């Protein structure tokens, strides 16, 4: 009862009601809220602190940026969400807020699309080297199983596509990446897809910001070949899996396309079944399924491999793993 009183008091102020209404429509930074509300940054930050202390709003650091959103679950989420829905749309102050919010989101979308356009040429060239994404995604869904999965973590979220692929089987999806510009691309795509239960945050695969044994599904799609030490990434993904949870990896089989190293920053030219099996078993998982998607021209194109492993016990690792810095 005391917590509810604190939350009601936190919302019983016009600016904080406006903030709750805005955050009910998606994540925003302090600077974006300043633009919408027309108030100083210190004042907006003070209101956000009160809402955060009342467990109505949560703070998500992202490098030099900090995003705020309504808490992901519990009474605070329901209360703040209801307040956002009850806000009268014909109120002139709220209407002005929403008009400004549209302008802020349009500017964010323009920046995200500009970044995506710069990167898309490289991605298109790599995609042309293997089977269609539709075939890869269908194989990933098949390997993961039907779920349902309460919590999915997508490591190296990229455009957010894998969160979309599994949205019908997932209660909550969280994508992580180290690239702020890429996270904004994913935010834009998830918002356009109407996936309100999916979100993204900045994080390194070597230090995921989650407790042990919380995720039902962890996906790692075309990420391992960028890493200095893929074993570390797999061990960290295994750490956050629940007993019975699934780790799903999609990457390339061993190949000889050296230009991917020199021109596209690939650290590894694919992975064998043996090394993936060794890494997942060292992380306390059991490899359950693997699939190979072969191209029509194996001499010049890439075979995509899919591996699905399951945590069969709460154990983290059967042997120590050397830890060093790596990034998504």
- Percentage of the residues of the chain whose pLDDT score is greater than 70: 86
**Residue 127: both structure tokens together:** 């995609």
For the chain, give the mean pLDDT. Answer: 85
CA distance 130 to 232: 27
Give the model's pLDDT for residue 316.
44
Would you say residue 320 has pLDDT above 60? Answer: no
Alpha-carbon radius of gyration of the chain: 21
**Residue 264: both structure tokens together:** 């596209």
CA distance 26 to 197: 11
CA distance 71 to 79: 10
Give the model's pLDDT for residue 196.
85
- Taken in order of first residue, the domains within the chain and their CATH numbers are 2-101 (1.10.10.10), 129-311 (3.40.50.150)
Say which residue the tokens 């979100």 belong to. 199
Would you say residue 273 has pLDDT above 90? Answer: yes
Q: How confident is the model at residue 33 (pLDDT cuts 50, 70, 90)?
A: very high
pLDDT-wise least confident of 7-11, 217-221, 245-249, 292-296: 292-296
- Give the pLDDT confidence of 198-213 residue by residue, as tens digits: 999 989 888 999 999 9
- Give the pLDDT confidence of 70-84 residue by residue, as tens digits: 887 677 777 776 776
Angle at 319 between CA 314 and CA 322, to 5 degrees: 115
**Residue 210: both structure tokens together:** 């989650």
DSSP SS3 for 220: strand
Give the model's pLDDT for residue 328.
41
Largest distance between two CA atoms of the chain: 67
Q: How confident is the model at residue 53 (pLDDT cuts 50, 70, 90)?
A: very high
Would you say residue 152 has pLDDT above 80? Answer: yes
Say which residue the tokens 């705020």 belong to. 68
Closest CA to 303 of 293, 318, 313, 316: 293
Q: How confident is the model at residue 127 (pLDDT cuts 50, 70, 90)?
A: low
Say which residue the tokens 């044994």 belong to. 213
Q: What is the mean pLDDT of residues 219-248?
A: 94
Would you say residue 112 has pLDDT above 70? Answer: no
């Amino acid at each position: 009862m005391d917590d509810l009183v604190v939350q009601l008091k936190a919302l019983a102020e016009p600016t904080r009601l406006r903030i709750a209404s805005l955050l009910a429509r998606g994540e925003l930074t302090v600077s974006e809220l300043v633009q919408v509300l027309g108030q100083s940054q210190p004042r907006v930050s003070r209101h956000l602190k009160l809402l955060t202390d009342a467990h109505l709003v949560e703070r998500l650091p992202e490098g030099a940026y900090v995003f705020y959103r309504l808490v992901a679950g519990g009474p605070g989420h329901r209360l703040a969400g209801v307040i956002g829905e009850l806000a009268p749309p014909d109120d002139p102050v709220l209407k002005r807020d929403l008009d400004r919010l549209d302008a802020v989101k349009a500017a964010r979308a323009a920046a995200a699309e500009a970044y995506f356009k710069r990167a898309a040429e490289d991605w298109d060239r790599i995609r042309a080297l293997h089977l269609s994404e539709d075939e890869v995604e269908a194989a990933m869904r098949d390997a993961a199983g039907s779920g349902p999965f309460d919590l999915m973590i997508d490591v190296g979220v990229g455009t957010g596509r894998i969160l979309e692929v599994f949205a019908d089987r997932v209660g909550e999806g969280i994508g992580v990446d180290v690239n702020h510009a890429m996270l904004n691309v994913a935010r834009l795509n998830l918002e356009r897809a109407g996936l309100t239960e999916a979100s993204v945050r900045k994080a390194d695969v070597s230090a995921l910001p989650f407790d042990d044994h919380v995720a039902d599904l962890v996906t790692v799609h075309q990420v391992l070949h960028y890493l200095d030490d893929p074993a570390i990434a797999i061990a960290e993904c295994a750490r956050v899996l629940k007993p019975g949870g699934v780790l799903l990896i999609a990457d390339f089989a061993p190949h000889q396309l050296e230009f991917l190293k020199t021109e596209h920053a690939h650290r590894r030219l694919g992975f064998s079944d043996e090394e993936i099996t060794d890494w997942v078993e060292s992380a306390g998982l059991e490899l359950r399924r693997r699939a190979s998607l072969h191209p029509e021209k194996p001499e010049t194109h890439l075979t995509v491999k899919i591996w699905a492993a399951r945590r069969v016990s709460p154990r983290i690792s059967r042997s120590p793993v050397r830890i060093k810095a790596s990034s998504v």
